[in-house]
Chains A and B, each alone.
Chain A
Amino acid sequence: MNRNRYRLLSIPYVIWVIGFTLIPILFILIRALTDDGGAFTLTNIVAIFSPLHRKALIMSLCLAFISTLICIILAYPVALILRGSRIKKKNIILFILILPMWMNFILRILAMQMLISNNGIINHILELAGLSPMNIINTPRAIVLGMVYDYLPYMLLPVLNSILSIPEDVIEAAKDLGSDKFHVLTRIIIPLSLTGVGSGITMVFVPSMTEFVIANILGGGKIQLLGNIIEQEFTVSMNWNLGSGLSVSLMAFVLITSFIFGRNNESTATGITI
């Protein structure tokens, strides 16, 4: 009976969504589809395929893909180990694992920079140990390292949640029906954790694909990702139409890619409540 009236409570939010989510998207679309004079054009959209931009796009795709993959490879065993262990305070371990998320993003990148820069701590230690210093900063490897470091918690959280929430009796039922450990893993645990992995992929792939800060700090500005190019269009070149066009194309790429290999499971991304 009061359902109708309760729906009215969302009016401020609906207005906010229209005003600050939908209209801005409309604006970026308009900018993307027009030139300086305001005439309709597709130049800005297809600009992503120009030789210069294409190189950045491929670099972005590769780095994001590699980072996401490493995150999955690192996170999945953690979830399996935690599930198998008798540690009672699994939630505390989970909490400790994702706590770095609460640390300022820029500071974390900065910390990573101090560790791996040429005169950084790791090289210092290597030197003391009489080993040759490694040269990693300002390479794509450094960017991948930064992305993995930064986004691993975003993969850990949904993957752990989905694996830890598989009921024990489902696994016992599988064993009862004759599954061995490997069979349980491939036929029960992995299929049931796919939604978690999917949202983890979205949460890692989307930001790493559109990254420019990590590339600027750890890549030393030498490696151009699509994010860097877009940022420069807005802050340096001041070609907002081109910047918008590139953003729209980038977003299309992100959505398509994460849909293909992540099935874009945004609803499970809500597992961030602790």
Chain B
Amino acid sequence: MTQIDFYTIMPISVLVLCASLLLLLEAFYPKGKQKQIAFFAAFGFALTLGLSISQLGNSYSGFGGMVVLDGFSNFLNILFLITGLLGVALASGYLQRMNINKGEYYVLMMFSVAGMMLMSQATDLIITFLALELLSIPLYVLAAFALNRTESEEAGIKYFLLGSYATGFIVFGIALIFGATATTSFAGIVAAIAQPATNLTLLLVGGGLVLVGFGFKVATVPFHMWTPDVYQGAPTSVTAFMAAGAKAAGFSALLRIFATLFPSFAADLMPILAVLSALTMIVGNITAIAQTDIKRMLGYSSIAQAGYILMAFVPFGDPAIRATAVAAGLFYLVAYTITSFGSWGVVIGLEREEGKGLDINDYAGLGKKYPWLALAMTVFMFSLAGLPPTLGLVGKFYLFRAIMEGKLYWLALIGVITSLISAYYYLRVIVIMYFKNGDPIINKDNLLYMSIALCVVITVVLSFMPSFLFSWASNAMLTMF
């Protein structure tokens, strides 16, 4: 193992090391003082974040081309680590209130984030698969973490069964790709595609299966059925983490695989991606209207948001637009992650034991009684709907620009019409908070409210100064082979 090999995966290794140490520490830690575990976990994430930031601008390939460190992976790794930090902040008070405060929670989260990071760096299908398992298995456990609630167990089982099923698709797809090209490394596959002897049909079917598998992971329609149930049943802090981190990780793999391996199949794959994205936006947004449970509503909203992100990737085959498309997707991922974390944070703020405080009507009167929290939720709802002055609007601007450059006008039209539909249910939350009378109860949790405030500040301030994030996202180049 050379220095460069190690350097490419240094942040991941450090994070895994921290997680393992924490696991040991947790076993010997006195009961009742486990709140400090959260602090250690946050420290681990922060340390890794620092390392990731120090790697900015570097670009290496390690382990014989199995992993890569490039602008794209760096951007996403930083996003994943911020997700981890926010995840810890959201969870620490919540777990105590729900009586599920166990140190393993944080350890599992750290392993999962390590999986996400590996996924964004993988340039070999075997590594992609390994990363996927590392990311998913802790999440299955986390979904079922609230052992005292049957819904949580149900969510865990459901997520596990459907997740394994989806993984099966990916493995089978990888096998077919291997069958066609006799290699799993990205560079090898790209080289093989250029050979006339390669069975392209087999390769394409393999690619299609991989697409289906990741479609499950990022919850695109028609592979989304598990999402609302799992999001509703899982502990809310886990849901927040899944909705942001796991989704972003799925997209990172999808994007890297498709943009580097299959640009030559763009003509075949583009219509499929376009239809998937359109369906996801339509079904996600329309179904969300009918929801009365805030977790389910945000669940469907996150499905719809996946449709928007997927939309950015539709013109991936056109080399002139690829950079814009990738940058727009990454930018929107950031906007979505921050906003969705914030909104789940508000949900956590109002959630009581035994699943009370989760009906949208429980938010009635929030505007009068807790104006700042209601203001925060308003900002998040506006951002998700794409209204000013929020990052969501700027993100949508960028997304639709990529689509306009790709001349996919019909898809852009569907995109804007579904955002209009989405405004209806996002507004409903605001209507209930401000225009209806009620007496909401919120939990005491300073760390939570500080994180929410941070999300609000980022959402609003970055919308006025997006230049830095724009240029960062547009420089987050994929290593091409």
Chain A bound to chain B: no
